[in-house]
């Protein structure tokens, strides 16, 4: 019994000794200021550096300046790979992997890794079956290379028998990349190696690499909103603060805001998050917008961000305007347009192949391009996107492209019964108060509209 006890105590002492050294190696001992010193670099990482400092100054340099270097996190700590891993390769006496996946980073950054992995970002590669995918693979014929979609959404990285990564599927830093270890997502989509500097991640252009263009112009919207202009004007001051961990809205800074301020960053009331969907009420992506699960709670969190710079009536008033905009888009255009497409499909006016008929292209533009632009513009304060690039184009499309194309497609069938059914269906939509104007206004009403321009520009105006 005595022997067992003494063995046990030796065991406990060994455990304590090990946990003590592990403690020091993770840098947590830094809280004991008196004994703190920079954690040493491992012997393995020193070996890597002996070659790579010369071989790749552009890898070594940013790393040497990084927080990782200062905390003893070297090449080996990130690149080491268990030999069971598909992409493990023998490399000058070490087992390494080129890819450092969210699982690898998660060994030291568990919270960020979990939040990112559970967010929509990590799922961005799962678009098979979508119309976007059909457009990319079939209509434009891009199925054989990984430029375009995969650069934003992520590729499936394939591995050769010797553990090297297969060119074509690599390099790739898309946000929902599927990694050889089975994990989804990619930390270097936002954290540039090997500096991993926070000012790069917080730079709005970093998000804009993907959040741009005709179907999701968030960066264009932001840059010409008052928030973006305030950031641009105070860029140097804000970016200097954005280098550090102390970037709490309302405490460390109160200008900007940048994209990550609203969607990720810490405020005096909120912790930071790597789930970019955590503060969003609506999804503005599908043809008809829906309120997300726990949408109201998420909205409350977003309001907490605004509240560091605005008062509640301002914020509440703004969100009322935004919600009304989304409802108008849904009710006046998206729901009727969707029901028209359903009518055409059910009555076999359109065939099952997607996007091979002009009416389908008009519908696609209405929700995927014009409708999204408008909704995004309304969400993030860009008047031109809300109206001229947004609802204006939705309305022109609905009345002058989609409806006439549907009329023509039905007429081409030369089926009187079908035409009658269509007329009845169409009238239900077009006789409603919000569409009635299209049938013509009273003479005096129309004259009034023209008169406005004639008053401003003379007789030629208003034609
Ligand atoms: C003896 C010199 C030497 C040592 C030691 C060394 N490397 Fe390398 N490494 C190279 C050279 C040369 C290349 C480029 C040719 C190649 O891929 O082997 C390279 C390539 C790489 C690559 C890219 C491989 C690819 O498939 O794209 C990574 C990642 C890498 N090294 C990491 C490391 C790490 C981590 C260590 C330490 C555990 C290390 N290296 C140790 C010389 C070295
Ligand atoms: C904090 C983790 C981390 C540390 C520390 C780190 N790397 Fe990397 N390294 C990465 C990531 C992430 C990638 C990109 C792979 C990916 O997309 O997953 C990468 C890619 C590479 C590549 C291939 C990319 C290219 O541009 O050719 C090389 C070579 C490399 N690292 C070498 C090194 C060396 C040498 C060191 C030490 C001086 C080092 N790394 C330290 C995370 C790290
Ligand atoms: C072996 C543990 C370890 C691994 C693996 C690791 N990190 Fe770190 N990371 C650290 C430590 C320690 C710090 C410094 C923490 C501090 O300053 O409090 C740090 C800091 C950071 C920072 C803040 C940098 C700054 O300038 O303040 C970022 C961003 C980061 N890591 C991202 C990553 C990413 C992305 C990966 C994977 C590609 C990764 N880390 C892998 C331990 C690690
Ligand atoms: C410039 C980067 C970029 C490119 C290129 C790109 N996308 Fe996207 N995609 C995005 C972003 C960003 C979003 C999210 C938009 C939003 O929330 O407003 C998105 C959204 C989507 C969605 C909607 C997902 C959902 O949850 O509703 C699908 C499907 C999609 N993309 C597929 C594709 C396909 C397929 C291609 C290539 C034909 C492609 N994308 C090209 C960046 C890109
Ligand atoms: C969509 C872009 C994006 C992706 C993807 C991303 N990050 Fe971040 N990360 C950021 C931003 C922005 C910040 C600064 C947030 C803030 O202001 O609080 C940050 C901050 C961090 C920090 C510093 C947190 C601190 O202590 O203040 C760490 C560590 C980190 N990220 C790790 C990761 C890891 C690990 C992954 C992959 C699992 C990852 N990030 C993926 C954008 C991203
Ligand atoms: C002032 C705060 C703020 C800033 C700055 C901001 N956003 Fe937003 N963002 C919002 C709000 C509010 C919404 C709508 C949330 C809701 O549905 O309730 C939104 C919605 C979104 C959506 C969801 C779209 C969808 O399809 O569902 C994306 C993506 C997005 N923002 C990206 C960005 C990017 C990228 C930037 C920077 C270029 C940015 N945001 C800057 C507040 C902000
Ligand atoms: C490498 C490309 C890429 C980068 C960089 C990127 N995103 Fe995204 N983001 C996407 C894609 C793709 C989606 C759509 C994912 C899906 O629905 O499958 C998305 C979706 C989103 C959403 C909607 C989330 C939801 O739950 O509906 C928000 C908000 C967002 N991103 C904000 C940001 C912010 C803020 C940054 C910068 C800090 C950023 N993104 C950087 C590609 C990117
Ligand atoms: C870091 C501070 C900051 C944050 C956070 C912030 N704003 Fe602002 N906001 C400003 C500044 C500065 C202006 C420009 C003030 C002016 O017009 O004098 C502004 C202007 C606005 C405007 C007027 C836009 C225009 O074109 O006139 C609205 C609406 C608005 N913010 C709503 C919001 C909402 C909603 C949120 C949260 C999702 C938010 N803001 C978060 C600083 C902020």
Residue where a domain terminates, one of 287, 313, 339? 313
Asked if 305 and 336 sit in the same domain, the reply is no
**Is the predicted pLDDT of residue 174 greater than 60, yes or no?**
yes
Asked if 68 and 192 sit in the same domain, the reply is yes
Q: How many domains does the chain have?
A: 3
Asked if 437 and 349 sit in the same domain, the reply is yes
Asked if 263 and 293 sit in the same domain, the reply is yes
Closest residue to atom 11 of ligand 3, CA basis: 68
Q: Does any ligand 6 atom lie closer than 6 A to the CB of residue 359?
A: no
Asked if 241 and 368 sit in the same domain, the reply is no
What is the average per-residue pLDDT within 335-347? 98
List the structure tokens of 10.
């030796």
Sign, CA dihedral 323-220-332-135, equals: negative
Distance between CA 227 and CA 216 in Å, rounded? 18
Distance between CA 153 and CA 157 in Å, rounded? 13
Q: Is residue 18 part of a domain?
A: no
Compute the mean pLDDT over every residue in the chain, rounded to the nearest whole number: 91
pLDDT for res 36: 57
pLDDT for res 128: 78
Residue where a domain terminates, one of 153, 179, 196? 196
Q: Does any ligand 2 atom lie closer than 6 A to the CB of residue 326?
A: no
pLDDT for res 145: 66
Asked if 271 and 362 sit in the same domain, the reply is no
| % of the chain with per-residue pLDDT over 90 | 81
Asked if 116 and 152 sit in the same domain, the reply is yes
- Distances 64 to 39, 86, 200, 210, 243 between C-alpha atoms, Å: 14, 29, 17, 29, 16
Asked if 148 and 215 sit in the same domain, the reply is no
Q: Is residue 422 part of a domain?
A: yes
Asked if 345 and 412 sit in the same domain, the reply is yes
Q: Is residue 34 part of a domain?
A: no
pLDDT for res 29: 40
Distance between CA 381 and CA 384 in Å, rounded? 9
pLDDT for res 23: 35
Asked if 179 and 100 sit in the same domain, the reply is yes
Residue where a domain terminates, one of 159, 178, 196? 196
Contact assessment for residue 268 and residue 308, using Cβ atoms and an 8 Å cutoff: yes
Tell me the residue range of the domain where 266 lies: 197-313
Contact assessment for residue 184 and residue 177, using Cβ atoms and an 8 Å cutoff: yes
Closest residue to atom 24 of ligand 2, CA basis: 98
Asked if 321 and 238 sit in the same domain, the reply is no
Distance between CA 373 and CA 389 in Å, rounded? 7
**Residues 3-61 pLDDT 10s:** 444 444 444 444 433 333 333 334 344 444 445 567 899 999 999 999 999 999 999 99
pLDDT for res 13: 41
Residues with CB under 6 A from ligand 8: 226-227, 230, 249, 254-257, 261-262, 302, 305-306, 308-310, 315, 318, 381
Q: Does any ligand 2 atom lie closer than 6 A to the CB of residue 193?
A: yes
Distance between CA 10 and CA 296 in Å, rounded? 56
pLDDT for res 100: 98
Q: Is residue 327 part of a domain?
A: yes
Distance between CA 345 and CA 62 in Å, rounded? 57
pLDDT for res 4: 46
Q: Is residue 3 part of a domain?
A: no
Distance (angstroms) between ligand 4 centre and the Cα of 338 equals: 21
pLDDT for res 18: 39
Q: Is residue 40 part of a domain?
A: no
**Residues 128-155 pLDDT 10s:** 789 999 998 888 887 766 788 999 999 9
Asked if 177 and 222 sit in the same domain, the reply is no
Q: Is residue 262 part of a domain?
A: yes
Closest ligand 5 atom to the C-alpha of 245? 27
Q: Is residue 24 part of a domain?
A: no
Distance between CA 402 and CA 310 in Å, rounded? 41
- Distances 408 to 284, 349, 365, 383 between C-alpha atoms, Å: 30, 10, 19, 34
């Amino acid at each position: 019994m005595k022997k067992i006890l003494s063995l046990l105590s030796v065991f406990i002492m060994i455990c304590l000794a090990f946990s003590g050294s592990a403690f020091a190696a993770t840098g947590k001992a830094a809280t004991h200021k008196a004994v703190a010193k920079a954690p040493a670099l491992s012997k393995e990482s020193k070996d890597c550096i002996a070659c790579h400092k010369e071989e790749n100054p552009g890898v070594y340099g940013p790393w040497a300046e990084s927080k990782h270097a200062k905390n003893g996190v070297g090449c080996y700590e990130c690149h080491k790979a268990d030999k069971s891993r598909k992409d493990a390769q023998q490399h000058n006496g070490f087992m390494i992997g080129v890819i450092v996946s969210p699982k690898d980073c998660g060994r030291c950054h568990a919270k960020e890794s979990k939040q990112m992995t559970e967010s929509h970002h990590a799922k961005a590669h799962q678009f098979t079956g979508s119309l976007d995918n059909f457009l990319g693979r079939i209509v434009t014929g891009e199925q054989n290379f990984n430029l375009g979609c995969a650069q934003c959404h992520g590729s499936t990285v394939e591995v050769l028998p010797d553990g090297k990564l297969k060119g074509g599927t690599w390099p790739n830093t898309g946000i929902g990349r599927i990694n050889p270890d089975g994990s989804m997502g990619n930390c270097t989509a936002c954290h540039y190696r090997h500096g991993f500097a926070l000012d790069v991640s917080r730079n709005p252009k970093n998000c804009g690499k993907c959040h741009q263009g005709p179907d999701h112009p968030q960066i264009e919207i932001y840059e010409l909103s008052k928030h973006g202009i305030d950031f641009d004007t105070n860029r140097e001051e804000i970016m200097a603060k954005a280098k550090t961990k102390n970037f709490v809205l309302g405490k460390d800074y109160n200008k900007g805001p940048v994209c990550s301020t609203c969607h990720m960053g810490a405020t005096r009331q909120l912790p930071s998050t790597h789930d970019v969907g955590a503060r969003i009420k609506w999804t503005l992506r599908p043809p008809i917008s829906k309120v997300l699960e726990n949408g109201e709670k998420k909205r409350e969190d977003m309001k907490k961000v605004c509240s560091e710079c605005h008062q509640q009536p301002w914020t509440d008033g703004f969100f009322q305007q935004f919600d009304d905009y989304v409802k108008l888009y849904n009710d006046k255009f998206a729901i009727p347009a969707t029901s028209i497409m359903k009518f055409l499909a059910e009555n076999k006016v359109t065939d099952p192949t997607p996007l091979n008929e002009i009416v389908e292209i008009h519908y696609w533009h209405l929700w995927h391009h014009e409708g999204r632009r408008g909704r995004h513009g309304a969400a993030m304060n860009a008047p031109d996107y809300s109206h001229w690039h947004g609802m204006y184009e939705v309305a022109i499309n609905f009345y002058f492209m989609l409806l006439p194309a549907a009329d023509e497609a039905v007429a081409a069938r030369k089926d009187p019964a079908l035409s009658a059914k269509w007329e009845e269906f169409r009238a239900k939509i077009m006789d409603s108060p919000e569409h009635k104007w299209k049938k013509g206004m009273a003479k005096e009403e129309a004259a009034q509209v023209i008169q406005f321009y004639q008053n401003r520009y003379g007789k030629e105006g208003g034609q």
